[in-house]
Structure 1
């Protein structure tokens, strides 16, 4: 399965990154960039090099891996749904 990025919304907003730039780089559909409460979920991201580029861009914008965002990879069965929240 393709990886998905989870970003704390406040960290994303202070980074100055734009959804338009990320959408353009990754060719995302509306369902592949989701805002839910305090989280932004981007993915699945099909190309591995695209994931590395986005992580590099997030870090260059001042975000810290695991403090502000992380990626979740794996092959999940169709019946599995993941629900995430922030504290």
Structure 2
């Protein structure tokens, strides 16, 4: 089932295998980014985190993900949230 991606704030989307390979911990991400339970979603081969309201924390996290060996675009990417509220987006893996 596709994951809904809200407008206005960024969402990070990971390939699930890359997320697990990096040994990321949900509780640490929740605390760091101030996420609610509904802002961390897993569906099939995808992990979606967001919307993320702290853009400085997002930038620092992206840099750390790359230091962990994750490759932007191949392993994860950011959906900016920069689209109108009337546009409804959903993501899913192939």
TM-score, normalised to structure 2, is: 0.84
Structure 2, gaps ≥5 residues long: 1-7
Q: Partner of 2:90: helix, strand, or coil?
A: coil
Deviation of 1:76 after TM superposition, in Å, equals 3.0
Structure 1, gaps ≥5 residues long: none
Q: Which residue of 16, 21, 27 maps to 2:28?
A: 21
Q: Which residue of 43, 52, 63 maps to 1:45?
A: 52
Deviation of 1:16 after TM superposition, in Å, equals 1.0
Q: Which residue of 58, 66, 69 maps to 2:76?
A: 69
TM-score, normalised to structure 1, is: 0.90
Deviation of 1:62 after TM superposition, in Å, equals 1.2
The C-alpha deviation readout for 1:17-45, integer Å capped at 9, x for no partner, is 11111111011001111001110000111
Indicate the RMSD between aligned Cα atoms, in angstroms.
1.2
User: Which residue in 2 is equivalent to 1:5?
Assistant: 12
Deviation of 1:75 after TM superposition, in Å, equals 3.5
Q: Partner of 1:49: helix, strand, or coil?
A: helix
Number of residue pairs matched by the alignment: 86
